[in-house]
Amino acid sequence: MNIVVLVKQVPDTEAQRQLNPDDNTVDRAAVDPVINYIDEFAIEEGLLLKEAHGGEVTILTVGPERATESIRKALSMGADKAIHVTDEALHGSDAIQTAKVIAKALGTIEWDVAVAGSEATDSRSAILPALLAEALGVAQLTQARKVTVDGSTVTIERVTDTGYESVQGSTPAVISVVEKINDPRYPSFKGIMAAKSKPVTTLALSDLGIDAGEAGLANAWTQVVSFENAPPRAAGQTVKDEGNGGGQIADYLASKKLI
Amino acid sequence: MTFELSADHETFRKVVREFAEGEIAPHVAQWDREHRLPLDVVRAMGDLGLFGLVVPEEYGGADADFTSLCVAIEELGRVDQSIGITLEAAVGLGINPILTYGTDEQKTRFLPDLVTGRALAAFGLTEPEAGSDAGATKTRATLAGGEWTLNGAKAFITNSGTEITSVITVTARTGEKEISTILVPAATPGLVVEPAYEKLGWHISDTHGLSFDDCRVPEANLLGVRGNGFKQFLAVLDDGRIAISALAVGLAQGCLDVSRKYALERHTFGAPIGSRQAVAFSLSDVAVAVEAARLLTYKAAWLKDSGRSSAEVKQAAAIAKLYSTEAAVAATRVATQVFGGNGFMEEFPVARFYRDAKVLEIGEGTSEVQRMVIARGLGLPVT
Ligand SMILES: Cc1cc2nc3c(=O)[nH]c(=O)nc-3n(C[C@H](O)[C@H](O)[C@H](O)COP(=O)(O)OP(=O)(O)OC[C@H]3O[C@@H](n4cnc5c(N)ncnc54)[C@H](O)[C@@H]3O)c2cc1C
Ligand SMILES: Cc1cc2nc3c(=O)[nH]c(=O)nc-3n(C[C@H](O)[C@H](O)[C@H](O)COP(=O)(O)OP(=O)(O)OC[C@H]3O[C@@H](n4cnc5c(N)ncnc54)[C@H](O)[C@@H]3O)c2cc1C
């Protein structure tokens, strides 16, 4: 079975993140880049699928040149090879454009399942896997907390607000996994060394037959009109219990429509 | 001249740091309280490849350099000394003698499990009456009928009593003026593992006294050449000292990291304590010591990796161990002071750092013994 894992490089979630004031795009230079946290679970799931069913794991990343660091890390965890789509013209692309680029890149290889994270920690639209499945016209198995593959049938437990649904589709399929679906491995020393010689294919938009006029900020379907920094955390509200503490808390929760 | 570790070392450092912060830091206070070595973490360290770093690939290792091992020990030591010493002793004292002096058969028998973290090996040199003066070893091994029979006792032996301890390398007198090294597999009849010591620090690390009561092992368990025991353990200790030095660097760095952060957060008299020279300058001094200790440590590791003469490595190892361990003890004193009353409380890691530091100046050769080695390296006839 050939497995592709979609890996996004994002600004470190633990650092203070910013947007560029001139074009409202994410400032990717200001903060150390890391693998999107949830994508580590996607990589692990890809490796587990390979261990159970054989085949190869290919990492697919759309992102700036620096994303090679994240690709190497994914390879050092045990993936076999990678495709890196990088092009100046991609700057500021939105989820729809990114999904189209990924769809084209998937067209360059043989694959059975594409495993993504359920959401990226920077823009958090949680929509790319759905867009991708739609663009490809293949099964869409998102928000999985468990993945089972039997021949060409893929079954997942899809997380819902109240529990889970069992959803089935046949390959080729796009799967997105939620965090905690597994326990991502750390790269071993040997893995780090081996990653250095694993093949990474770098593709530009022209290699995928995509016109630069379809990509990038100027051609995005979504637009960031303005942004503001989050207001500083206000001091908490103290409730003094004078025999009616419980009632006061209930009133507060009700005012926030939480109960 | 370059003062940088390679990009591979740095990538590896990042992974070990993530592992230490993700898998060790959240639980370490509890293990410390329970005096418990978590064997699943030992196994995970095996999966990371830490035990097999300096082991050739044919025995399951990564065939990496000694510097990589120092990086791993430093990063574990930055979060917890007990876990760091568990790795240091497992490799420096456990794997290293078998790898260096073992026959093919001995290596094939023991190394694969040691490399994966499924087993731990220990090195029994120190005795109740022979520590710094390890040549005064009293434990005896006599050869008769194709077997060695051991009688005697060892003290303070790291990793010797865990559930997964597979073998203890023991130095013993095999003649009047002759010390040899013998492999004693765990659970050999006549090998008695005493109850764990009550220690000031290193609570997670496994330490036991051992006694040998007509403990018999096959003649083939001799490690290396009969009568070479003294030479062997001196060489083992030289490597070990560089690794202990790395452990000390990790501790000093850990102290600097947590107390720098605390000095920015803790306010007194309307300002962060880090704005007071008394506090800030003491952290400046720690920063200087960390830098110096790290340079001495990695220079010694580099000399070893570059195949320099054993005399040169021995001197550099003793210098690094002496300086780094004393710097680490001083750093824990500063860190505890910066934390004030909290520094004395087990809720904060600096209290554990403080308890764990002292033994660095004692194990694998006391500070006095390092000064003795250095003085001899200077050609001074000190005894
Ligand atoms: C405010 C804002 C600013 C932006 N600024 C920039 C910018 O400066 N530069 C820029 O390039 N883009 C920018 N984008 C576009 C954004 O990166 C895309 O929307 C993104 O690639 C896909 O959407 P998402 O991150 O919300 O993915 P989600 O749908 O949340 O991600 C789900 C999963 O899809 C996969 N995935 C997502 N993106 C990729 C990818 N690129 N490669 C491989 N797998 C992926 C991962 O597995 C991920 O876990 C910006 C978006 C917003 C909202
Ligand atoms: C937690 C822990 C783990 C250990 N693990 C191991 C292990 O795995 N394997 C192992 O074999 N050993 C181990 N040891 C033992 C350790 O190496 C010895 O404790 C150490 O070498 C000192 O020996 P000693 O305790 O006999 O002290 P002594 O040799 O009795 O020394 C007492 C004091 O006298 C000083 N002194 C001695 N001789 C001189 C001299 N000639 N000049 C100046 N000063 C001198 C010493 O520096 C010291 O301050 C461990 C010890 C501890 C505490």
259 residues of chain A, pLDDT tens digit each: 999 999 999 988 877 778 888 888 888 777 888 999 999 999 999 999 999 999 999 999 999 999 999 999 999 999 999 999 999 999 989 999 999 999 999 999 999 999 999 999 888 889 999 999 999 999 999 999 999 999 999 999 999 989 999 999 999 999 999 998 999 999 999 999 999 999 999 999 999 999 988 888 888 888 888 888 888 888 888 888 889 989 999 999 999 888 8
CA distance B141 to B178: 10
Tokens 């490089």 identify what position?
Answer: A9
CB B210 within 8 A of CB B192: yes
Please return the burial class of A225, using the count of CB atoms within 10 Å of its CB with bins 0-12, 13-18 and 19+: exposed
Q: Do B68 and A189 touch (CB under 8 A)?
A: yes
pLDDT tens digits, A70-91: 999 999 999 999 999 999 999 9
Q: Please list, residue by residue across B288-308, b when 16 or more beta carbons sit within 10 angstroms of its beta carbon and e when fewer do.
A: ebbebbbebbbebbbbbbeee
What is the extent of the structural domain holding B369?
230-377
Tell me what pLDDT residue B263 has. Answer: 98
CB B253 within 8 A of CB B312: no
Estimate to the nearest angstrom the gap between the alpha carbon of B148 and the chain centroid: 29
Give A144-162 pLDDT, tens digit per residue: 999 999 999 999 999 998 9
Please report which ligand is nearest the Cα atom of A45.
1
Cβ neighbours of A45 (radius 10 Å): 26
Q: What is the pLDDT of residue B173?
A: 98
Cα(B363)–Cα(B108) distance, integer angstroms: 29
Q: Do B144 and B81 share a domain, yes or no?
A: no
> What pLDDT score does A232 carry?
85
Quick one: pLDDT at residue B61?
A: 96
Q: Please provide the DSSP assignment of B101-148 as one string.
A: H--HHHHHHHHHHHHHTS-EEEEE--BTTBSTTGGG---EEEEETTEE
pLDDT in tens, B335-383: 999 999 999 999 999 999 999 999 999 999 999 999 999 999 999 999 8
Q: Are residues B156 and B252 in the same domain?
A: no
Give yes or no for residue B165 having a pLDDT over 80: yes
As a whole number of angstroms, the distance between CA B130 and CA B110 comes to 28
Q: Same domain, yes or no, for B372 and B294?
A: yes
- For chain A, what's the residue count? 259
Q: Which residues of A touch B46 (CB under 8 A)?
A: none
How do residues B267-315 score in pLDDT, each as one tens digit?
Answer: 999 999 999 999 999 999 999 999 999 999 999 999 999 999 999 999 9
CA B43 to CA B23: how far, in whole Å? 12
Residues B91 and B129 in one domain: no
Residues contacting residue A195 through CB under 8 Å, at least 6 positions apart: A72, A73, A75, A76, A187
Asked if A68 and A84 touch (Cβ cutoff 8 Å), the reply is yes
* Within a domain: B1: no
Q: What is the pLDDT of residue B149?
A: 98
Residue in chain A nearest B71 by alpha carbon? A189
DSSP-derived secondary structure for A93-154:
--HHHHHHHHHHHHTTS--SEEEEES--TTT----HHHHHHHHHT-EEEEEEEEEEEETTEE
> Which domains are assigned to chain A?
2-225 (3.40.50.620)
B145 shares a domain with B83: no
pLDDT of the residue at B182 = 98
**Same domain membership, residue B147 and residue B106:** no
The CATH number linked to B155 is 2.40.110.10
Q: What is the CA radius of gyration of chain A?
A: 21
Read off the CATH number of the domain in which B320 is found: 1.20.140.10
Considering the candidates B23, B88, B127, B364, report the single residue annotated as catalytic.
B364
Is residue B245 located within the same domain as residue B207? no
Contact by Cβ (8 Å): A45, A176: no
Residues B271 and B370 in one domain: yes
Contact B169, B158 (CB under 8 A): no
Tell me the C-alpha distance between B126 and B122, whole Å. 12
Q: How many domains does chain B have?
A: 3
- In chain A, what is the greatest distance between 2 CA atoms, to the nearest angstrom? 71
List residues of A whose CB lies inside 8 A of any B CB. 72, 76, 185-193, 196
B158 plus B252 within the same structural domain: no
Per DSSP (E only), the strands in chain B are 120-124, 140-144, 147-158, 165-175, 178-185, 191-193, 207-218, 222-223, 267-268, 271-272
* Residue to probe by mutation, ligand 2, list B37, B93, B156, B160, most atoms within 8 Å of CB: B156
Q: Are A129 and A174 in contact (CB under 8 A)?
A: yes
pLDDT score, position B138:
97
| pLDDT given for residue A195 in this prediction | 96
Q: What percent of chain B is modeled with pLDDT above 70?
A: 100
Q: What mean pLDDT, rounded, does chain B reach?
A: 97
Ligand 1 and A18: CB distance under 6 A: no
Query: Final residue of a domain: which of B104, B119, B134?
Result: B119
Q: Is the pLDDT of residue B323 over 80?
A: yes
**What distance in Å separates the CA atoms of residue A91 and residue A76, rounded to the nearest whole number?**
27
The CATH number of the domain holding residue B27 is 1.10.540.10
Of B119, B148, B176, the domain-final residue: B119
- The 10s digit of each residue's pLDDT in B108-160 is 999 999 999 999 999 999 999 999 999 999 999 999 999 999 999 999 999 99
Which of the two residues, B245 and A239, has the higher pLDDT score? B245
Cβ contact B47–A185 (<8 Å): yes
Residues of A in contact with B11 (CB under 8 A): 72, 76, 192
Residue that finishes a domain, picked among B77, B101, B119: B119
Same domain for B214 and B247?
no
Which of ligand 1's atoms lies nearest the C-alpha of A38? Answer: 49
Predicted local distance difference test score (pLDDT) of residue B152: 98
What ipTM does this complex have?
A: 0.84
CB contact under 8 A, B11 and A192: yes
Contact check, Cβ <8 Å, A186/B19: yes
Distance (Å) from the C-alpha of residue B62 to the closest C-alpha of chain A?
A: 6
User: Helix, strand or coil for residue B219?
Assistant: helix
Closest ligand 1 atom to A125 CA: 26
pLDDT at B45 over 90: yes
Report how far Cα A257 is from the mean position of its chain's Cα atoms: 31
Ligand 2 shell residues, CB under 6 Å: B 89, 93, 122-126, 131-132, 156-158, 199, 202, 207, 359, 362-366, 368-369, 372
pLDDT higher than 90, residue B255: yes
SS3 B228: coil
Q: Note the pLDDT of residue A23.
A: 84
Identify the H or E element spanning A174: strand A173-177
Q: How many CB atoms lie within 10 A of CB B272?
A: 15
- Which has more pLDDT, B91 or A222? B91
The finding on whether A125 has its CB within 6 A of some atom of ligand 1 is yes
Q: What is the pLDDT of residue B151?
A: 98
Is B328 in contact with B294 (CB distance < 8 Å)? no
Give the per-residue pLDDT at B111.
Answer: 97
In this prediction the pTM is: 0.88
Cite the DSSP H helix spans in B1-128: 7-19, 28-34, 39-48, 66-79, 81-88, 96-101, 104-116
Q: Which two tokens mark B149?
A: 């029979």
Instruction: Give the position of tokens 């920094």.
Output: A229
Looking at the fold, whether B210 and B137 belong to one and the same domain comes out as yes
Residue type, B290: V
**Residue A222, pLDDT score:** 87
Q: Residues B310, B172: one domain?
A: no
Q: Please tell me which of the candidates B18, B44, B53 has its beta carbon nearest to residue A189.
A: B53
Instruction: Reply yes or no on whether B364 is catalytic.
Output: yes
Name the pLDDT band for B230 (thresholds 50, 70, 90): very high
Looking at the domain assignment, is residue B179 inside a domain? Answer: yes
> Does a structural domain hold residue B383?
no
